[in-house]
Amino acid sequence: MDDSKKSHPALGTGAKWASVTKSFSDGPWFRAVVHLTLKLFSFKTVGMYERRAQPRKRVFKAGTIEFDGVGVDCTVRNISATGAALEVVSPLTIPHEITLNIRTGEVRQHCYIVWRKEKRIGVAFG
């Protein structure tokens, strides 16, 4: 619609409306607000909020979950300083408190399971 045809109850029609909309969108504060809004609401995955304390690095490492003298094979899919995501055959038999042994780095880490999915578990180091 042409700016001269637009109307606003408080401003009327024509040039007044065009000058208000132009000054509104050309101001430096407007660009700053748009930039901050886009920054705040742009996520890597739509609808997901990143709750991790540290960003995780994608990896593909062989590991073993150890508990009660038993070892269960796993694949470390991502890892950070505070936790990891592990791929397993079934997370149902794995207890809440475990030891993660990553074979390639000779790393042993005490962990607590914080979430479980069909074939994955999330652990927090501690």
Q: How far from 104 is each of 59, 61, 108, 109, 117, CA to CA, in Å?
A: 11, 7, 11, 13, 25
CATH class of 57-125: mainly beta
Could you tell me the two tokens for 2? 């042409």
Share of the chain above pLDDT 90, in %: 48
Residues of the chain with CATH 2.40.10.220: 57-125
Q: Label the pairing between strands 97-102 and 83-87.
A: unpaired
| pTM exceeds cut of 0.85 | no
Could you tell me the two tokens for 75? 């694949």
Per residue in 58-67, pLDDT (tens digit) is: 999 999 999 9
Per residue in 45-94, pLDDT (tens digit) is: 445 555 656 787 999 999 999 999 999 999 999 999 999 999 999 999 99
The residue among 44 and 110 whose pLDDT is bigger is 110
Decide if pLDDT at 7 tops 70. no
